[in-house]
Amino acid sequence: MPDAPTPPEKSIALVGSMGAGKSTIGRGLATRLGLPFADSDAEIEAAAGLGIAGIFERFGEAHFRESERRAIARLVEGRPQVIATGGGAFIHAETRALLLARCTVIWLDGDSETLAERAGRRGGRPLLEGKDKVAVIERLAALRNPAYAEAHLKIRSDETALEAIVTALAAR
């Protein structure tokens, strides 16, 4: 394994659909770069004392999105880290502007079938519960991809994603 590149001067935010591998790739990237890793969904769950599904059920999606916005605003403060955002976080204009200004934003993208299969492996995804997962991913992609396209980098979320990100960051 090659030496780790010099850690960046600002945080790296991973955006993209559920199932894109933001948390998995984020952990690996943080390790390679010698940076801390944070998952915005985990931060929200810890603050609420509830899982994402419980937050949606008890308080609704609007409350979750506001919690997400506040969590991400906290995460971009301080020293650089790798941040895995929730799939809908980058859609919020204020959050998107903050991430684009304060972080290197990387869009992890993939085909709908792969994303749906990965997202379906883990429960607790309120937007997928009891629905055709591929259809949901495709509907969300139609709404969200224009915002994701504003990211600084776009990387295909596959088995080479971590190396592609490290290479792209080293070239910056």
pLDDT for the residue 121: 73
**Exposure of 138 in the CB half-sphere (CA atoms within 13 A):** 7
Give the Cα separation of 91 and 137 in Å (integer). 15
pLDDT for the residue 148: 97
Do 133 and 26 touch, CB atoms closer than 8 A?
Answer: no
What are 28's two structure tokens? Answer: 């690996």
pLDDT for the residue 83: 97
Average confidence (pLDDT) per 10 residues, the chain, 172 residues: 66 94 91 94 91 87 90 93 94 96 96 84 67 88 96 88 79 68
Q: Which of 131, 103, 141 is nearest to 19 (CA)?
A: 141
In angstroms, what CA-CA distances link 53 with 43, 88, 165, 168?
14, 14, 31, 35
What are 5's two structure tokens? Answer: 């590149």
pLDDT for the residue 126: 62
15-166 under CATH 3.40.50.150, yes or no: no
